[in-house]
Amino acid sequence: MFDYILSLNPIWQALLATLFTWSVTAIGAALVYFFKQINKNLMDGMLGFAAGVMIAASFFSLIAPAITMSENLNLIPWLVVFIGFFGGGLLLFIGDKLYDTYEKKSPNKKSNMKRSIMLVSSITLHNIPEGMAVGVAFGSVIYGLEGATLAAAWTLALGIGLQNFPEGTAVSMPLRRDGMSRNKAFFLGQLSGIVEPIAGVIGAILVMKVRILLPFLLAFAAGAMIYVVVEELVPESQTNNKKDLMALFTLIGFSIMMILDIALG
């Protein structure tokens, strides 16, 4: 079976690899089914955990690679990262204001819906450049670019896939905390990862053009994630009476994601 997969065109391999990364996101999101009752302390802790995961992912999975890619492409690293990072945060800031305007016109809407939308959209934005990165890795094999091998591409897909597990949980659990049904929380959790196969195929086909855009897209996703963490996740988790414990959950989330990122490179 594995030999057959390796014999496929790299574009097909990119699709299979990113389907794997999406499936791990879905498995992480499925943890929402293992909690029968909503315990405020646990759910606030998961919100803090999600914040830690997103902070770590924003740097180790997005900003650091964006800097390295910018240097390899002879771009100005600090400028690319700044434009992308600030642009990502600014997009969610604008979306935040637009939603506030909409909410005033529809007062019956639940106030936590905004947090749900921002959480899902930020993780989805984060998964697009990750999917493209996998696609570029496989597409580079076609062009015979230096250092491009199928083994390296599959290793990258494996690393991103394992990192997606806590990200799936980081989406579905806070949504469940906000009163969303398990099925809907799971659906939105896995949906945040479905963009990876799409982006992966695009990256493999347009590898030469996408390589230039990747550093910007990575930083853009990081800015969006940090905005959500600062605006929604941390403040909400700190409404708990056990603020120090919630902060500890944030450290745990950051630590787990950091270990996965560094160990799996």
Mean pLDDT over each residue of the chain, to the nearest integer: 83
pLDDT at 88 over 90: no
Domain annotation covers residue 256: yes
Domain annotation covers residue 46: yes
Are 174 and 47 in contact by the 8 Å Cβ rule? The answer is yes
Tokens standing for 143?
């062009």
Q: What is the DSSP letter of 109?
A: S
Q: Whole domain around residue 157: which residue ranges?
A: 38-264
Over residues 57-73, mean pLDDT: 87
Domain annotation covers residue 194: yes
Domain annotation covers residue 251: yes
Domain annotation covers residue 172: yes
State the total domains in the chain: 1
Domain annotation covers residue 5: no
Domain annotation covers residue 98: yes
pTM attached to this predicted model: 0.74
Return the higher-pLDDT residue of 102 and 151: 151
* pLDDT, tens digit, 9 for 90 and up, residues 168-222: 887 888 888 777 888 999 998 898 889 999 998 988 888 777 788 888 888 988 8
Tokens standing for 169?
């949980």
Domain annotation covers residue 48: yes
pLDDT at 58 over 70: yes
* CB burial readout 41-78, b (16+ within 10 A) else e: eebbbbbbbbbbbbbbbbbbbbbbbbbebbeeeebebe
